[in-house]
Amino acid sequence: AIDGERLWQSLMDLAQIGATPKGGNCRLALSKEDGQGRDLVVGWMREAGLEITVDQVGNIFGVRPGRDPARKPVMTGSHIDTQPTGGRFDGCFGVMAGLEVMRTLNDQGIQTEAPLALTIWTNEEGTRFVPVMMGSGVHCGVFPLETALAATDVDGKAVRDELAAIGYAGTAPIGTVQAGSYLEAHIEQGPILEAEETTIGVVTGSLGLRWYDVTVTGMEAHAGPTPMALRRDALYAATHLMQAVVDIANDPAFAPLGRGTVGVVNAYPASRNVIPGRVQFTVDLRHEDAALLEQMEQRFRAAAAALAAGETTGTPVQVDIAFVQEFPPTPFDRTLVERVRSEAIARGMSQRDIVTGAGHDAVYMARCVPTAMIFVPCKDGISHNEVEDADPKHLEAGANVLLGAMLAQAA
């Protein structure tokens, strides 16, 4: 069994880097803080005897040799980048749980048949740079290395340069370290396990996701003299489409696993006495069912077309929808999922099936190798928030299931 206190302590030590006033973390991907976090954890990985490889997109792999060097490692991992006002557990729990597995095996002098590996993936959050789940996406061939390296943040800084700036522009070709199977422990980031007082979520797969950037163009004009009837207010128009995103997801036809969110909005020229001439906002649509996700998109596009035609507000505007990223609903590996369940049951833990609403590196890994995830509850189901919290007992339980599943896989 793993050491729950050591696991908790490592999480708290990592959370010192980029700590925010309300008890959360801001370690945006490839920021100075992300660099400091990586240095700290890589130090721990080396102390645990792992052999470190950094690939060209900055993914960090730590390998623990097995008796059979011909076998591909049983890999675990997650990310340590965070949202701007993120929590201490999202991603970090998966990495620290993997480290704790390695430390525990070291303490007990156990060598596995297959090698084990712990991975820190680059830019999972997708806040500062898209594509989201960047490191695992490149690793699995979902998009090219060049797409990732050329991605820029709002200030125009490129992944390529920001990797170099924090010292993680690795030289190992993509795929240097390859997994035989992949397991990822994570907090649920939703309310189900807590509400049902269940310790382990056996993750059967993930919702599909589609991201868009929307631009609504009207006509900039003076907020005072311009009569209401003559306005082409891009923001007034845009609010209707922003509402449609949420209203569509709320439609019983898409319940309970449809989601619609507008996270970012900006109006230009951003002056209080100018009618906005242009508004940009982001759209995040998700569903468990590919056909229903497609229907959600069609409904959203129909709402955009009606708005553009002037049917919604009486005033035509220009609406441009740029596709940003998508992944389909992704089922995990049946056998590995059942292994997670049996490890939980063997330890007397309550467990239930669950679908992840968040994307995870596991979602891309599932395209290459047998993959599963282990969820534990988080407080009030809240994540992507500084107040994100988790019970040390649940984290310990999740790490123990990870230990059991990795040992079984590596046997």
Ligand X SMILES: NC(=O)NCCC(=O)O
Backbone phi, psi, residue 119, to 5°: -120, 135
Q: Is there binding between residue 255 and a copy of itself (CB under 8 A)?
A: yes
Instruction: List the beta bridge partners of residue 354.
Output: 203
- Contact stretch for a copy of itself (CB under 8 A) within 36-44, 95-103, 237-245, 291-299: 237-245
Q: Considering the rule CB under 8 A, would residue 219 count as an interface residue with a copy of itself?
A: yes
Longest dimension (CA), the chain: 79
Strands 60-64 and 74-78 come out as unpaired
Q: Residue 289 contacts by C-beta under 8 Å, 6 or more apart in sequence?
A: 208, 257, 329
Give least dist CB 211 to ligand X, A.
9
3 binds a copy of itself (CB under 8 A): no
Q: How far is the CB of 327 from a copy of itself (least distance, A)?
A: 11
Q: How far is CA 134 from CA 128, 175, 233, in A?
A: 11, 14, 36
CB of 397 to a copy of itself, least distance (A): 19
What the block records as the tokens of 11 is 């999480």
The yes or no reply on residue 286 touching a copy of itself (CB under 8 A) is: yes
How many residues sit in the footprint of a copy of itself (CB under 8 A)?
Answer: 72
Q: How far is CA 312 from CA 213, 262, 299, in A?
A: 20, 19, 14
Q: Which residues does residue 321 pair with via DSSP β-bridges, in sequence order?
A: 214
Scanning residues 42 to 101, which ones bind a copy of itself (CB under 8 A)? 83-85
Question: Distance between CA 161 and CA 150 in Å, rounded?
Answer: 9
DSSP state of 72: P
Does position 290 bind a copy of itself by CB under 8 A?
Answer: no
- Given a contact cutoff of 8 angstroms between Cβ atoms, the answer to whether 362 and 205 are in contact is no
Stretch that binds a copy of itself, among 107-115, 121-129, 304-312, 335-343 (CB under 8 A): 121-129
Q: C-alpha 150: how far from its chain's center?
A: 20
**Least distance from C-beta 252 to a copy of itself, angstroms?**
11
230's contact among a copy of itself, ligand X, none, with CB below 5 to 8 A by partner kind, is a copy of itself
- 341 binds, options a copy of itself, ligand X, none, Cβ within 5 to 8 A by partner type: none
Cβ closest to a copy of itself, residue 26 vs residue 368: 26
As given in the structure block, the two tokens for residue 47 are 């102390």
291, two tokens: 């056909």
Kindly state whether residue 134 participates in binding a copy of itself, applying the rule CB under 8 A. no
Name the closest residue to ligand X (Cβ). Answer: 273
Provide the terminal-to-terminal Cα distance of the chain, rounded to the nearest Å. Answer: 17
CB atoms within 10 A of CB 13: 13
Residues in contact with ligand X by CB under 6 A are 90, 124-126, 132, 222-224, 273, 358-360
Contact code string over 330-369 relative to a copy of itself, x by CB under 8 A: --------------------------xxxx----------
Write down the residue that tokens 């991992």 correspond to.
77
Q: Residue 292 interacts with a copy of itself (CB under 8 A)?
A: no
Q: Which does 266 bind (CB under 5 to 8 A by kind): ligand X, a copy of itself, none?
A: a copy of itself
Q: Phi first, then psi: what are they for 100, rounded to 5°? A: -65, -35
The residue within the footprint of a copy of itself, chosen from 9, 16, 111, 266 (CB under 8 A), is: 266
73 vs 86, which CB is nearer to ligand X? 86
Q: Is 276 in the site for a copy of itself (CB under 8 A)?
A: yes
239 contact, one of ligand X, a copy of itself, none, CB 5-8 Å limit per kind? a copy of itself
> Is the Cβ of residue 28 or residue 319 nearer to ligand X in the bound state?
28
Please state the separation of Cα 260 from the chain's center in Å: 16
Closest separation in Å from C-beta 378 to ligand X: 11
Position 191 contacts a copy of itself (CB under 8 A): yes
Q: Which helix (H) or strand (E) holds 106?
A: helix 92-107
